A = this chain, B = another copy of it.
Amino acid sequence: MINYEAFFKVTYGLYIVSSGNKDRGNGYISNTVFQVTSEPPRFAACCNKNNFTAEFIQRSQAFSVSILDQNASSEVIGKFGYKSGNDIDKMVGSQVKYGETGVPIVLDDCISFFECKVVQTVDVGTHLMFIGEVVNTEVINDTKDALTYLYYRQVKKGLSPKNAPTYIDKSKLEIKTENQLDKKYKCPACGFIYDDAVENVKFIDLPDDWVCPACGTEKSDFIEL
Protein backbone atom coordinates (compact mmCIF):
# COMPACT_ATOMS: atom_id res chain seq x y z
CA MET A 1 0.00 0.00 0.00
CA ILE A 2 1.21 3.48 -0.78
CA ASN A 3 0.66 6.23 1.75
CA TYR A 4 1.63 9.40 -0.11
CA GLU A 5 2.20 11.25 3.16
CA ALA A 6 5.41 9.21 3.49
CA PHE A 7 6.88 11.12 0.54
CA PHE A 8 6.69 14.39 2.45
CA LYS A 9 9.38 13.10 4.82
CA VAL A 10 12.01 13.15 2.08
CA THR A 11 14.33 16.15 2.31
CA TYR A 12 14.96 18.43 -0.66
CA GLY A 13 16.38 21.86 -1.36
CA LEU A 14 15.02 24.32 -3.93
CA TYR A 15 17.05 25.43 -6.92
CA ILE A 16 16.77 27.36 -10.16
CA VAL A 17 18.02 25.17 -13.00
CA SER A 18 18.83 27.22 -16.11
CA SER A 19 20.07 26.64 -19.62
CA GLY A 20 20.29 28.28 -23.03
CA ASN A 21 22.56 31.11 -24.05
CA LYS A 22 22.85 34.91 -24.16
CA ASP A 23 20.22 35.21 -26.89
CA ARG A 24 17.58 33.13 -25.14
CA GLY A 25 17.63 31.21 -21.93
CA ASN A 26 15.17 29.72 -19.49
CA GLY A 27 15.12 28.41 -15.96
CA TYR A 28 12.74 26.49 -13.69
CA ILE A 29 12.48 25.74 -10.01
CA SER A 30 13.54 22.21 -9.13
CA ASN A 31 13.77 20.33 -5.88
CA THR A 32 15.51 17.31 -7.35
CA VAL A 33 19.14 18.26 -7.78
CA PHE A 34 21.69 16.01 -6.11
CA GLN A 35 25.27 14.88 -6.33
CA VAL A 36 25.70 11.43 -7.86
CA THR A 37 29.48 10.97 -7.71
CA SER A 38 32.31 12.77 -5.94
CA GLU A 39 35.16 11.74 -8.26
CA PRO A 40 34.62 13.54 -10.57
CA PRO A 41 31.89 15.71 -9.01
CA ARG A 42 28.70 15.05 -10.96
CA PHE A 43 25.20 16.25 -10.26
CA ALA A 44 21.85 15.07 -11.58
CA ALA A 45 18.85 17.30 -12.28
CA CYS A 46 15.39 15.93 -13.10
CA CYS A 47 13.39 17.88 -15.65
CA ASN A 48 9.86 17.22 -16.88
CA LYS A 49 9.82 16.49 -20.62
CA ASN A 50 7.13 19.18 -21.04
CA ASN A 51 9.31 21.70 -19.30
CA PHE A 52 10.47 24.50 -21.60
CA THR A 53 14.01 24.26 -20.15
CA ALA A 54 14.39 20.57 -21.14
CA GLU A 55 14.83 21.59 -24.77
CA PHE A 56 17.47 24.19 -23.87
CA ILE A 57 19.50 21.67 -21.86
CA GLN A 58 19.34 19.12 -24.67
CA ARG A 59 20.50 21.72 -27.18
CA SER A 60 23.31 23.30 -25.15
CA GLN A 61 24.30 20.11 -23.23
CA ALA A 62 24.92 22.23 -20.16
CA PHE A 63 22.96 23.68 -17.25
CA SER A 64 23.46 25.82 -14.19
CA VAL A 65 22.03 25.33 -10.70
CA SER A 66 21.42 28.35 -8.46
CA ILE A 67 20.88 27.41 -4.80
CA LEU A 68 18.13 29.60 -3.36
CA ASP A 69 18.38 31.56 -0.14
CA GLN A 70 15.87 30.59 2.59
CA ASN A 71 14.36 34.05 2.23
CA ALA A 72 13.98 33.90 -1.54
CA SER A 73 11.21 36.26 -2.61
CA SER A 74 7.89 34.99 -3.94
CA GLU A 75 8.54 37.06 -7.07
CA VAL A 76 11.59 34.93 -7.89
CA ILE A 77 9.85 31.65 -6.95
CA GLY A 78 6.75 32.72 -8.86
CA LYS A 79 8.63 33.70 -11.99
CA PHE A 80 10.79 30.58 -12.20
CA GLY A 81 8.39 28.11 -10.60
CA TYR A 82 4.94 29.05 -11.84
CA LYS A 83 5.42 30.76 -15.17
CA SER A 84 6.44 29.20 -18.47
CA GLY A 85 9.27 30.33 -20.71
CA ASN A 86 6.76 29.86 -23.51
CA ASP A 87 5.04 33.02 -22.31
CA ILE A 88 7.86 35.20 -20.97
CA ASP A 89 11.64 35.52 -21.22
CA LYS A 90 12.49 34.83 -17.59
CA MET A 91 16.03 36.17 -17.95
CA VAL A 92 14.68 39.66 -18.68
CA GLY A 93 14.66 41.56 -15.40
CA SER A 94 16.67 38.86 -13.62
CA GLN A 95 20.24 39.27 -12.36
CA VAL A 96 22.08 36.87 -14.66
CA LYS A 97 25.68 36.01 -15.41
CA TYR A 98 26.83 33.72 -18.20
CA GLY A 99 29.02 30.75 -17.36
CA GLU A 100 31.99 29.03 -18.99
CA THR A 101 29.60 26.87 -21.01
CA GLY A 102 27.59 29.92 -22.08
CA VAL A 103 24.50 29.07 -20.01
CA PRO A 104 22.76 31.74 -17.94
CA ILE A 105 23.20 31.57 -14.15
CA VAL A 106 20.46 33.28 -12.14
CA LEU A 107 21.89 35.25 -9.20
CA ASP A 108 18.65 36.61 -7.68
CA ASP A 109 18.30 35.27 -4.12
CA CYS A 110 21.11 32.82 -4.88
CA ILE A 111 23.61 31.77 -2.18
CA SER A 112 25.83 29.64 -4.41
CA PHE A 113 25.75 28.11 -7.85
CA PHE A 114 27.35 25.48 -9.98
CA GLU A 115 27.56 24.93 -13.67
CA CYS A 116 27.58 21.49 -15.30
CA LYS A 117 28.36 19.95 -18.68
CA VAL A 118 25.91 17.15 -19.49
CA VAL A 119 27.66 13.76 -19.66
CA GLN A 120 24.59 11.52 -19.65
CA THR A 121 20.84 11.91 -20.23
CA VAL A 122 18.57 9.28 -18.72
CA ASP A 123 14.93 8.89 -19.71
CA VAL A 124 13.07 8.08 -16.50
CA GLY A 125 9.51 8.26 -17.86
CA THR A 126 7.76 11.62 -17.55
CA HIS A 127 11.12 13.25 -16.77
CA LEU A 128 14.63 13.41 -18.19
CA MET A 129 17.49 13.12 -15.76
CA PHE A 130 20.46 15.19 -16.87
CA ILE A 131 23.74 14.12 -15.31
CA GLY A 132 26.35 16.83 -15.50
CA GLU A 133 29.98 17.17 -14.58
CA VAL A 134 30.68 20.27 -12.51
CA VAL A 135 32.93 22.73 -14.34
CA ASN A 136 32.48 25.85 -12.25
CA THR A 137 31.07 26.80 -8.84
CA GLU A 138 30.88 29.92 -6.72
CA VAL A 139 29.68 30.76 -3.22
CA ILE A 140 27.74 34.05 -3.42
CA ASN A 141 26.68 34.41 0.20
CA ASP A 142 28.12 32.24 2.92
CA THR A 143 26.06 33.66 5.77
CA LYS A 144 22.63 32.59 4.55
CA ASP A 145 20.90 29.23 4.80
CA ALA A 146 19.59 27.38 1.79
CA LEU A 147 15.86 27.23 1.17
CA THR A 148 14.57 23.71 1.81
CA TYR A 149 11.41 22.24 0.40
CA LEU A 150 10.15 21.64 3.95
CA TYR A 151 10.62 25.31 4.82
CA TYR A 152 8.95 26.31 1.56
CA ARG A 153 5.94 24.11 2.34
CA GLN A 154 5.68 24.79 6.08
CA VAL A 155 6.74 28.41 6.43
CA LYS A 156 6.16 29.83 2.98
CA LYS A 157 3.02 27.65 2.38
CA GLY A 158 4.25 26.72 -1.06
CA LEU A 159 3.04 23.83 -3.20
CA SER A 160 4.64 21.62 -5.87
CA PRO A 161 3.72 22.71 -9.39
CA LYS A 162 2.28 20.04 -11.69
CA ASN A 163 5.54 19.40 -13.59
CA ALA A 164 7.55 18.62 -10.44
CA PRO A 165 8.64 15.02 -9.79
CA THR A 166 7.20 15.43 -6.30
CA TYR A 167 3.77 16.70 -7.39
CA ILE A 168 0.99 14.79 -5.61
CA ASP A 169 -2.55 14.87 -6.86
CA LYS A 170 -4.73 15.81 -3.92
CA SER A 171 -7.05 12.89 -4.61
CA LYS A 172 -4.25 10.66 -3.32
CA LEU A 173 -4.08 12.37 0.04
CA GLU A 174 -6.65 11.97 2.79
CA ILE A 175 -9.56 14.25 2.05
CA LYS A 176 -10.15 16.45 5.07
CA THR A 177 -12.85 18.74 3.72
CA GLU A 178 -15.21 16.46 1.83
CA ASN A 179 -18.23 18.72 2.22
CA GLN A 180 -16.87 21.53 0.08
CA LEU A 181 -17.18 21.87 -3.67
CA ASP A 182 -14.04 22.56 -5.66
CA LYS A 183 -13.70 26.22 -6.66
CA LYS A 184 -11.24 28.38 -8.54
CA TYR A 185 -9.69 31.65 -7.40
CA LYS A 186 -7.71 34.14 -9.44
CA CYS A 187 -4.87 36.41 -8.37
CA PRO A 188 -5.85 39.94 -9.44
CA ALA A 189 -2.22 40.99 -9.80
CA CYS A 190 -0.71 38.28 -11.98
CA GLY A 191 -3.60 36.10 -13.07
CA PHE A 192 -2.38 32.98 -11.20
CA ILE A 193 -5.27 30.52 -10.79
CA TYR A 194 -5.66 28.57 -7.58
CA ASP A 195 -7.75 25.54 -8.48
CA ASP A 196 -9.07 23.51 -5.52
CA ALA A 197 -9.40 20.53 -7.83
CA VAL A 198 -5.66 20.21 -8.40
CA GLU A 199 -4.21 21.44 -5.11
CA ASN A 200 -3.80 19.44 -1.91
CA VAL A 201 -5.53 22.08 0.20
CA LYS A 202 -8.73 23.93 -0.62
CA PHE A 203 -8.29 27.68 -1.01
CA ILE A 204 -10.64 28.32 1.88
CA ASP A 205 -8.44 26.20 4.16
CA LEU A 206 -5.21 28.05 3.32
CA PRO A 207 -3.89 30.13 6.23
CA ASP A 208 -4.68 33.86 6.25
CA ASP A 209 -1.03 34.76 5.69
CA TRP A 210 -0.83 32.65 2.53
CA VAL A 211 0.23 34.67 -0.50
CA CYS A 212 0.12 34.12 -4.25
CA PRO A 213 3.05 31.77 -5.02
CA ALA A 214 3.58 33.60 -8.31
CA CYS A 215 3.71 37.22 -7.18
CA GLY A 216 3.12 37.53 -3.44
CA THR A 217 -0.38 39.05 -3.53
CA GLU A 218 -2.35 38.42 -0.33
CA LYS A 219 -4.98 35.69 -0.07
CA SER A 220 -7.71 38.20 0.78
CA ASP A 221 -7.22 39.90 -2.60
CA PHE A 222 -7.97 36.74 -4.61
CA ILE A 223 -11.19 36.69 -6.63
CA GLU A 224 -13.47 33.66 -6.67
CA LEU A 225 -14.29 32.63 -10.26
Residue positions of A touching B, CB distance < 8 A: 1-7, 9-13, 32-42, 44, 46, 67, 111-114, 120, 122, 124-127, 129, 131, 134-139, 142, 146, 148-150, 164-168
Name the residue in A5, A6, A137 with the highest tally of chain B Cβ atoms < 10 Å from its Cβ.
Answer: A6
Asked if B67 and A3 make an inter-chain contact with CB atoms under 8 angstroms apart, the answer reads no
- Complex copy number for this chain: 2
- By beta carbon, the residue of chain B nearest A48 is B37
Asked if A137 and B7 make an inter-chain contact with CB atoms under 8 angstroms apart, the answer reads yes
Distance from A223 Cβ to chain B, minimum over Cβ atoms (Å): 30
Residues of B within 8 A of A146 (CB): 9-11, 150
| C-alpha gap A135/B20 in the complex (Å) | 37
- By beta carbon, the residue of chain B nearest A149 is B11
- By beta carbon, the residue of chain B nearest A164 is B38
Residues of B within 8 A of A114 (CB): 2, 6-7
